[in-house]
Amino acid sequence: MTETGAAGEWLELIVEADREAVESVAELFGRYGYNEGVVIDEPFRQDRDGDNLAIDPTMPVTVRTYVASETIDETTIDAIRSGLRSLGMIRPVGELTIERRHEEDWANTWKEHYHPVKVGLRTVVRPPWREYEPVDDEIVVIVDPGMAFGNGTHQTTRLALQGLERFIEPGMSVFDAGTGSGILAIAAARLGASLVDGVDIDPVSVRTARENVERNEPPVAIDLRVGSVGPDQPFAGNLYDFVLANIIARVLMELNEGIVAFVKPGGTLVLSGIIEDRLDETLAVYAKHPLDLIDRRQEDDWLSLVYRKRA
């Protein structure tokens, strides 16, 4: 086979196969795929809030490869189909599906789906390749919707931003637990925070968040580090006027002691990422702390809680 040009058309060959047949299907696809490359997508199951992710051994595995369209003909496609049928006589193998792809589609088309979006009363989130002129007292946060979670489109991020908008006051110090893309940290700076610190356990998220901070040129320093909350973690011992934690409910409950410890007496705590099924558990855990619930919001199955720490 000869290589295609940079803007060439590709064929994506896809088949679902029984777990025991995956190795044989991958070997067959490897004979024809570009650079012998094969992608194996394991099926998985998880809770509605994304927790408890696990491979589902009861479901078929998806196997795919990519072939330059100008290097393959119907005879070869027929040979692949015949090979799959032969393998299917031993273990279950589905029908071959073929999708046409363009390199420019992979590189750029996804960007068309992202536009500036208003996620609260004042906060507008835009990707770097879109322009937006703020109206009245709007603030604009530039976020590249790449590998890190939190671009303003998910309910949990919107709820957290709305809590931030409603209760932050100029000059407050802010801590962002589980910063993700850095969107909440950047918004806090734009809304008048005097300093903003944040952590995330994922180094990729922290790197992405720092890049987003640089794009926004915030008016105050934002210090984001790899880590979590607790006595041996970054910023341990610090107290903040305003603490944000947009994380799934299980983690909010597991880290409750560390999260609450960062809140100054009289300070505000915003929790988001709580699926409705786990609301009562989360409320019960945080009821053990000297906190008063001052606001509760819901969007679809997701909730946010806002607490004030007793002085």
Q: Per residue in 82-102, pLDDT tens?
A: 999 999 999 999 999 999 887
Where does the chain show beta strands of DSSP type E?
9-17, 39-41, 44-45, 54-55, 61-68, 97-102, 117-118, 123-126, 139-142, 173-177, 195-200, 222-226, 240-246, 263-275, 291-299, 302-309
Structural contact between residues 38 and 64, judged by C-beta atoms closer than 8 angstroms: yes
Q: What amino acid occupies position 138?
A: E
pLDDT greater than 90 at residue 71: no
pLDDT confidence of 48, banded at 50, 70, 90?
Answer: confident
User: Which residues have CB under 8 Å from 184's CB, separation 6+?
Assistant: 150, 157, 160, 161, 164, 176, 198, 244, 246
Structural contact between residues 150 and 209, judged by C-beta atoms closer than 8 angstroms: no
Return the structure tokens found at 303: 């909730």
The pLDDT value recorded for residue 36 is: 87
Side-chain half-sphere exposure of 10, counting CA atoms within 13 A: 21
Give the domain ranges of the chain: 9-109, 116-309
Residue with tokens 């984001």: 224
Q: What amino acid occupies position 146?
A: G
The pLDDT value recorded for residue 1 is: 37
Tell how strand 195-200 and strand 173-177 pair up: parallel
DSSP states of 204-250: HHHHHHHHHHHHH--SS-EEEEE--SSTTSTTTT--EEEEEEE--HH
Phi and psi at 155, nearest 5°, equal: -55, -40
Structural contact between residues 305 and 295, judged by C-beta atoms closer than 8 angstroms: yes
pLDDT tens track for 212-251: 999 999 999 999 999 999 999 999 999 999 999 999 999 9
For the 9-109 domain, the top CATH level (class) is alpha beta
pTM beyond cutoff 0.85: no
pLDDT greater than 70 at residue 109: no
Among 31-35, 44-48, 84-88, 181-185, the minimum mean pLDDT is found in 44-48
For the domain made up of 116-309, give the CATH fold. Rossmann fold (3.40.50)
pLDDT confidence of 3, banded at 50, 70, 90?
Answer: very low
pLDDT greater than 70 at residue 105: no
Label residue 218 left, alpha or beta by phi (over 0 means left) and psi (-120 to 50 means alpha). beta
